[in-house]
């Protein structure tokens, strides 16, 4: 299979690219290093340094002729989307439209899209949320990521482009960059390893659904062949509070530091967890890595990286 991975120098997509290569697929990557890192690029993948909004993306498609596109490139900062909604829409909507047009022109079979479950539903009417829950995002990021789902449906109906949407929870694990990508596990781990006092926004009761990166990679691999024209929540369906994250990371680090607190930030929901039963039935997906185990793996990565 010829695969093009957008955002492939980033945290999640670089792991997806690694897995594709391990399974013998032909892989090309597009990334502009807005948040991604050159060190994350697998050496056996072909690389194109390019913004997905760039018209030169057409040349990449003409050269690579991908059968499948795994689309992770995005403006992914909720806070920045609140402060700069036009920039968020420019990257996430116009960039994706540029990508979809190239898929249409060059006969790409399918797009696997990294959506958001954490930012799309707004304040939940019930938890965990399933795919039937009303979509009422409170951040421009949630709006733009959800809008892409409608574009995918339109391209499927009008041009026959297949797609699968994977609505991610909070993903964490090795390679997550606390400086360029959202990720409280990475942020807390690096701060504690450096002897600094982590900051919790709010009173620590805000909850998220945390899923380890290897489980997210597996969802992407399954979606390359399953879940046609489907939208799937991906998550453990378990709420984990900010204070629980802090305590779990602190135990893994072996620290005794106490948190400091700051006011909540605009655009962030208070509580979210995702019901992935549909993904279980139609993609045969299930999570494997528990939160404590995953945090320990992540902390070990950051510890070894810091020591190097």
Q: At 131, give phi and psi (nearest 5°).
A: -70, -15
The answer on 225 and 188 residing in a single domain is no
**282 falls within a domain:** no
Rounded distance between C-alpha atoms, residue 304 and residue 297, angstroms: 11
> Is 141 one of the catalytic residues?
yes
Same domain, 229 and 189: no
155 and 128 in a single domain? The answer is yes
> Within a 10 A sphere around the Cβ of 194, how many other Cβ atoms?
9
Q: What's the pLDDT tens digit per position in 222-247?
A: 999 999 999 999 999 999 999 999 99
184 and 93 share a domain?
A: no
- 249 and 223 both lie in a single domain: no
- Read off the pLDDT of residues 74-111 as tens digits, 9 standing for 90 and up: 999 999 999 999 999 999 999 999 999 999 999 999 99
Return the closest-CA partner of residue 60 out of 110, 111, 3: 3
pLDDT at 181: 52
283 domain residue, yes or no: no
CA distance 247 to 24: 40
Amino acid 267: pLDDT: 85
Q: Which of 87, 113, 141, 261 is catalytic?
A: 141
- Residue 237's pLDDT is 98
Residue 195, in any domain of the structure: yes
Question: Are 120 and 103 in a shared domain?
Answer: yes
* CB-neighbour burial class of residue 80 (10 A; exposed 0-12, middle 13-18, buried 19+): middle
Does residue 32 share a domain with residue 102?
yes
Give the total number of structural domains in the chain.
Answer: 2
Domain range spanning residue 103?
A: 2-171+212-233
Instruction: Quote the pLDDT of residue 178.
Output: 83
Rg from Cα positions in the chain: 19
Regions of the chain with pLDDT less than 50: none
Q: Are residues 202 and 221 in the same domain?
A: no
Mark whether 56 and 184 lie in a shared domain: no
The whole-number pLDDT of residue 208 equals: 96
The reply to whether 26 and 64 lie within a common domain is yes
Q: Are 159 and 104 in contact (CB under 8 A)?
A: yes
Same domain flag for 135 and 13: yes
Greatest extent of the chain over all pairs of C-alpha atoms, in Å: 58
The CATH number linked to 52 is: 3.40.50.720
| HEC assignment per residue over 164-217 | EEEEECEEECCCCCCCCCCCHHHHHHHHHHCCCCCEEECCCCCEECEEEHHHHH
Phi-psi region of 292 (alpha: psi -120 to 50; beta: other; left: phi over 0): alpha
> 149 in a domain, yes or no?
yes
């Amino acid at each position: 299979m010829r695969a093009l991975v957008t955002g492939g120098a980033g945290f999640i997509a670089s792991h997806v690219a690694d897995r594709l290569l391990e399974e013998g697929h032909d892989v090309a990557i597009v990334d502009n290093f807005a948040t991604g890192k050159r060190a994350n690029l697998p050496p056996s993948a072909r690389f194109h340094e390019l913004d997905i909004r760039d018209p030169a993306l057409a040349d990449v498609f003409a050269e690579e002729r991908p059968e499948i596109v795994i689309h992770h490139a995005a403006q992914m900062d909720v806070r920045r989307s609140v402060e700069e909604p036009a920039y968020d829409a420019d990257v996430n909507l116009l960039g994706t439209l540029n990508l979809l047009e190239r898929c249409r022109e060059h006969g790409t079979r399918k797009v696997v899209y990294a959506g958001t479950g954490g930012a799309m539903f707004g304040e939940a009417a019930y938890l965990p949320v399933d795919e039937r829950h009303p979509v009422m995002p409170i951040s421009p990021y949630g709006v733009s990521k959800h809008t892409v789902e409608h574009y995918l449906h339109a391209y499927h109906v009008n041009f026959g482009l297949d797609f699968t949407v994977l609505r991610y929870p909070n993903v964490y694990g090795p390679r997550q960059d606390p400086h360029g990508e959202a990720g409280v596990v990475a942020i807390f781990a690096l701060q504690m390893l450096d002897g600094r006092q982590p900051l919790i926004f709010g009173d620590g009761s805000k909850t998220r659904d945390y899923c380890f990166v290897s489980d997210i990679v597996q969802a992407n691999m399954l979606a390359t062949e399953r879940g046609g024209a489907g939208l799937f929540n991906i998550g453990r369906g378990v709420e984990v509070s900010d204070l629980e994250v802090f305590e779990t990371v602190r135990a893994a680090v072996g620290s005794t530091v106490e948190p400091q607190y700051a006011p909540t930030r605009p655009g962030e929901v208070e509580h979210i967890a995702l019901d992935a039963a549909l993904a279980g039935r139609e993609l045969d997906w299930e999570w494997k890595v528990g939160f404590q185990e995953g945090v320990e793996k992540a902390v070990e990565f950051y510890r070894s990286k810091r020591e190097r």
